[in-house]
Amino acid sequence: MAIEKKRLGNILVNAGKINSYQLQEALKSQKILGKKLGEILVESNIITEEDILESVEQQTGIKKIDLNTITFDKKAISIIPKNLCNKYLLIPFGFDKNKIKVAMADPLNIFAIDDVAISTGFEIETFISKKNDIKKFIEIYYSSQQVSIAAQQLAKESSQLKKKNFINIEEIDDVKNAPVVKMVEYLFKNSIEMNASDIHIEPFENEIRIRYRIDGQLQTVNVLNIDSLAPLITRIKILAGLNIAEKRIPQDGRIMTTIENKDVDFRVSILPVVYGEKVVIRILNTSSYNVSKEQLGINERNLKKIDRIISNPYGIVLVTGPTGSGKSTTLYSILNELNSNNVNIVTVEDPVEYTLKGVNQVNVNTRSGLTFANGLRSILRQDPDIIMIGEIRDNETAEIAIKAAITGHLVLSTLHTNNAPSSIIRLIDMGVKPYLVSTSIVGIIAQRLVRKICNKCKVSYEANKYEKEILGVDASEKLILYKGDGCGYCNSTGYLGRIGVYEIMEMTREHREAINAGANFDILRDISLKNGMTTLGIECIDLVIKGITTITELATITLIKEY
Burial status of residue 455 (CB atoms within 10 A of its CB: 0-12, 13-18, 19 or more): middle
- CA gap 481, 464 in Å, rounded: 10
Is 82 inside a domain boundary? no
Cβ atoms 562, 421 nearer than 8 A: no
Is 88 inside a domain boundary? no
Cα four-point dihedral sign 400, 402, 407, 408: positive
Same domain, residue pair 268 and 348:
no
CA 558 and chain centroid, separation: 22
Is 423 inside a domain boundary? yes
Same domain, residue pair 366 and 397:
yes
Domain of residue 210, CATH code: 3.30.450.90
Is 454 inside a domain boundary? no
β partners of residue 252: 269
DSSP classification of residue 454: P
- Distances, alpha carbon 384 to alpha carbons 164, 387, 404, 415, 502, in Å: 62, 7, 10, 22, 29
Same domain, residue pair 428 and 515:
yes
DSSP run (H or E) holding 443: strand 441-453
For β-strands 410-415 and 386-389, DSSP reports them as parallel
DSSP run (H or E) holding 86: helix 82-88
What pLDDT shows up at residue 420? 94
Same domain, residue pair 367 and 516:
yes
Cβ atoms 494, 453 nearer than 8 A: yes
Same domain, residue pair 270 and 306:
no
Q: Which of 41, 61, 81 is the last residue of a domain?
A: 61
Domain of residue 516, CATH code: 3.40.50.300
Is 397 inside a domain boundary? yes
Same domain, residue pair 419 and 524:
yes
DSSP classification of residue 370: B
Closest by Cα among 480, 484, 513 to 497:
484
Same domain, residue pair 205 and 308:
no
What pLDDT shows up at residue 547? 94
Quickly count: other Cβ atoms within 10 Å of residue 342's Cβ.
5
Q: Which residues contact 318 (CB under 8 A, 6 or more apart)?
A: 392, 413, 414, 415, 423, 441, 443, 444, 445
Same domain, residue pair 340 and 397:
yes
Q: What is the pLDDT of residues 373-390, one digit of tens each?
A: 888 888 888 899 999 998
User: Where does 49-183 show beta strands of DSSP type E?
Assistant: 90-96, 99-104, 123-128
Is 18 inside a domain boundary? yes
SS3 state of residue 532? coil
Same domain, residue pair 256 and 378:
no
Would you list the DSSP string of 270-325?
EEEETTEEEEEEEEE-GGGGS--TGGGT--HHHHHHHHHHHT-SSEEEEEE-STTS
Same domain, residue pair 386 and 410:
yes
Q: Which of 259, 285, 311 is the last residue of a domain?
A: 285
Closest by Cα among 57, 65, 133 to 101:
65
Same domain, residue pair 359 and 425:
yes
Note down the domain range covering 40: 1-61
Cβ atoms 334, 312 nearer than 8 A: no
CA 393 and chain centroid, separation: 26
Would you list the DSSP string of 11-66?
HHHHTTSS-HHHHHHHHHHHHHH---HHHHHHHTTSS-HHHHHHHHHHHH-PPB--
Per residue, what are the HEC states of 309-323?
HHCCCCEEEEEECCC
Same domain, residue pair 143 and 11:
no
Is 338 inside a domain boundary? yes
Buried b (16+ CB within 10 A) or exposed e, 295-306: ebbbeeebeebb
- CA gap 252, 283 in Å, rounded: 14
Angle at 264 between CA 339 and CA 238, to 5 degrees: 130
Q: Which of 237, 265, 285 is the last residue of a domain?
A: 285
Cα four-point dihedral sign 254, 256, 259, 264: positive
What pLDDT shows up at residue 390? 86
Residues in the chain, overall count: 563
Is 169 inside a domain boundary? no
Q: What is the pLDDT of residues 168-194, one digit of tens each?
A: 444 444 444 567 888 888 889 888 888
- Residues (pLDDT < 70) of the chain are 1-7, 144-146, 148, 151-152, 155-178, 286-290, 558-563
DSSP run (H or E) holding 397: helix 395-406
What's the maximum distance between 2 C-alpha atoms anywhere in the chain? 85
Number of domains in the chain: 3
Q: What is the pLDDT of residues 341-365, one digit of tens each?
A: 999 999 988 878 778 888 998 888 7
